[in-house]
Amino acid sequence: MGQHTELVPERDNSLAVEAERSSERRKYKQAMAVELLASWMTVTEVARQLGADPSTLHRWLNDPLFVAELEARRDEIVESMLDQHLLASRMATAKLMGLIDSPNEQIALRAAAILYAGGQRAYQFMDVRKRIERLEDNMGIVYGSKV
C-alpha cells in the first residue's frame, strides 16, 4: 500500500516573525532612546536621531519601566562623573600638598590657601549634612508618632 500524504496548508509564520522583528527593533530603539535621553538630548532631538515620532518617545516616557531604565542610566552616568571628579580632586590635593614645600614662597602660600579653603568647604558641607540628617531624624520621630 502506498504512502498517503495529506496536504495541510502550512501556517503562515511570516506575521509572527515580523512581530518578533518589530519587537526587537522597538527594544533597540528604546535602548538607544535611553542612552540619548540620558545624555540630555531633547525628545525632539532623540526622535529625529531614531527616525521616530516625538509622540512615541512621550508615550515611552509615560511607561514606568522605560523611565526606571532612563533614571538608572542617568544615575550610572552621574556616579561615573563623581568618581572621576573625586579622583581628580585627590590628584589636585596631592599636587597642592607638594607645592606647599615649594621654595617659591608665593607658590607655597597660594597652595596653602587653596587647601585651607577646600578644607573649610568640606567642613561646612559635612556640618550641613549632619544638620540635615538630624532634622530628618527628628521629623521621622514626629511623623512616626502620628502614623
Tell me the DSSP string of 54-111: HHHHHHHTT-HHHHHHHHHHHHHHHHHHHHHHHHHHHHHHHHHHHHHT-SSHHHHHHH
Residue type, 122: A
Q: How far apart are CA 129 and CA 136, in angstroms?
A: 10
Cell of 84: 572621576
Cell of 37: 535621553
Task: State the pLDDT at residue 90.
Answer: 93
Judge if pTM exceeds 0.85. Answer: no
Q: Which residues of the chain have pLDDT under 70?
A: 1-19, 142-147
**Those residues with Cβ within 8 angstroms of residue 112's Cβ, 6 or more apart along the chain or in another chain:** 100
For 69-93, what is each residue's pLDDT tens digit? 999 999 999 999 999 999 999 999 9
**Those residues with Cβ within 8 angstroms of residue 74's Cβ, 6 or more apart along the chain or in another chain:** 38
Task: State the pLDDT at residue 147.
Answer: 40
CB 57 within 8 A of CB 43: yes
